[in-house]
Chains A and B, each alone.
Chain A
C-alpha cells in the first residue's frame, strides 16, 4: 500500500487559509469576487427592509466572498492531492507542490524528479490527470485552474514565493 508523508497536510492548509479571513487580507483576493456574489448581496441588502443598509450589504458580500474563496481554495487543495495520490498509486513520486490562491485563476505547480519529465509514460499519465482536474475545476467555478508540473532539481523556492506560490508541502512517499 502506498502512503504519503507530508510536511503540512490538511490541518496546515486550513491554518494557512484562516490567515486570510480578515477583511484586509481578502482585499488581496478581490479577484475572486464573482458578479453573482455581489448581485446576491446587493439584492439581499436592499430588500430586507429599513434596517438593511450599507453595513449589512458589505458584511453579506464579504461573508459570501469569503465562502466562495474558501470553497475554491479547498477545491484547489483537494484536486492537487487527488493528482498526487493518483501518481503515487501508479508508482510515481511527487516531491512537493506549490499553490497560489491569489490569482483570478488559482495556480498549482507539482514538483517531480527531473527524470520523470523525460519518461513518456509518466508524462502521458500525469498530464492526462492534470487536464482532468482542470476540467473539474472549470465546471465547478467557471475559472481556469492553472496546474502544471516542474522538475524538482534546483527549484527556486524564493522565486515561487515572489510569484504568489506561498503555500507548499513537501512529500515523502512510501511503497
Chain B
C-alpha cells in the first residue's frame, strides 16, 4: 500500500470514529476531506501535465501555472477523474473550506453525506479488480 493511501485510510478511520462519537460532526467532514486529498493524489499522480512530469501537487501547480495547491488539486481531479467523483470531491472541499463561515453545529446527516462521498471517492480511486 502506498504511503498516501495509508495516510488517507488513517484519516478515514478518524473520520469514522468522529462520526461514531456523534459530537464532532464538523470535524467528521473536515477529516473526510483531508482523507480524500490523499486518495485522489495517490490515484492520479504521477501524471504528465503540459509536458511536465508531476509527482506531487507542487509540480501540478507549476504545470498549470496556478497560484495555489487547492485550486490545482481541484482542477487535477476535474480533469483526471470522472465528473461524479470530481463533484463529490468539490462538495467535501467546499464544506471544509467554508466551515469558517458556518456554524460548527453540523447535523448527523451532513456528516453521513461526507462519509458517503468519501467512500465513493475511495472506491473510484481504488477500483476492485475481479
Docked-complex contact A144 and B101, CB < 8 angstroms: no
**Residue contact A127 to B102, C-beta cutoff 8 Å:** no
Question: Which 5 A-B residue pairings sit nearest by Cβ, starting from the closest?
Answer: A154-B103, A148-B94, A127-B87, A150-B98, A144-B71
- Kindly state the separation between the CA atoms of A114 and B72 in the bound complex, as whole angstroms: 27
The interface residues of chain B lying within 8 Å CB-to-CB of A105 are: 67-68, 71
21 CB-based A-B contacts, threshold 8 Å: A105-B67, A114-B110, A118-B109, A118-B110, A118-B113, A123-B88, A124-B84, A124-B87, A127-B90, A128-B83, A131-B87, A131-B90, A146-B71, A148-B90, A148-B93, A149-B94, A150-B102, A151-B110, A156-B100, A159-B100, A163-B100
Q: Is A153 an interface residue (CB 8 A)?
A: yes
| B102–A117 touching, CB < 8 Å | no
| Chief secondary structure at chain B's binding surface | helix
Assembled-state Cα–Cα distance A124/B86 (Å): 10
What is the 8 Å Cβ interface bit string for chain A, positions 18-38, against chain B (1 contact, 0 not)? 000000000000000000000
CA distance A39 to B2 in the complex (A): 47
Q: Smallest CB–CB gap between A162 and chain B, Å?
A: 10
Complex: A81 Cα to B129 Cα, angstroms: 44
Specify the chain B residue showing the minimal Cβ separation from A130: B90
Chain B nearest CB, measured from A76 CB (Å): 15
Determine how close the nearest CB of chain A comes to the CB of B114; give it in whole angstroms: 10
| Bound complex: CA A144 to CA B110 (Å) | 28
Check if A151 sits within 8 Å of B91, measured CB to CB: no
State the CA gap A174–B96 with chains docked (Å): 31
B97 at the interface (CB under 8 A from A): yes
**Contact digits for B66-90, partner A, Cβ 8 Å, 1 yes 0 no:** 1110010001001000011011101
The CA of A151 and the CA of B94, in the complex, are separated in Å by 10
A30 to B105, CA, bound (A): 38
Distance in Å from the Cβ of A123 to the closest Cβ of chain B? 6
A150 to B98 alpha-carbon distance, docked (Å): 7
Minimum CB distance partner of A126 in chain B: B87
- How far is the CB of B128 from the nearest CB of chain A, in Å? 23
Whether A160 pairs with B71 at a CB distance below 8 angstroms is no
Residues A131 and B78 in contact in the complex (CB < 8 Å), given A144-B71, A153-B102: yes
Of chain A, the residue at the smallest CB distance from B67 is: A104
Q: Which residues of B contact A127 (CB under 8 A)?
A: 87, 90-91
A150 and B109 within 8 A (CB) = no
A99-143 Cβ-contact flags toward B at 8 Å (1 or 0) = 000001100010000100110000110011011000000000000
When distances are taken between beta carbons in the complex, the residues of chain B under 8 Å from A163 are 100
Measured CB to CB, the nearest residue on chain A to B68 is A105
Which chain B residues border A114 with CB–CB below 8 Å?
107, 110
Q: Indicate whether A1 reaches chain B with its CB closer than 8 angstroms.
A: no
What are the interface flags for A36-48 relative to B under an 8 Å C-beta threshold, 1 for contact and 0 otherwise? Answer: 0000000000000
A160-175 vs B, CB cutoff 8 Å, 1 = contact: the mask equals: 1001000000000000
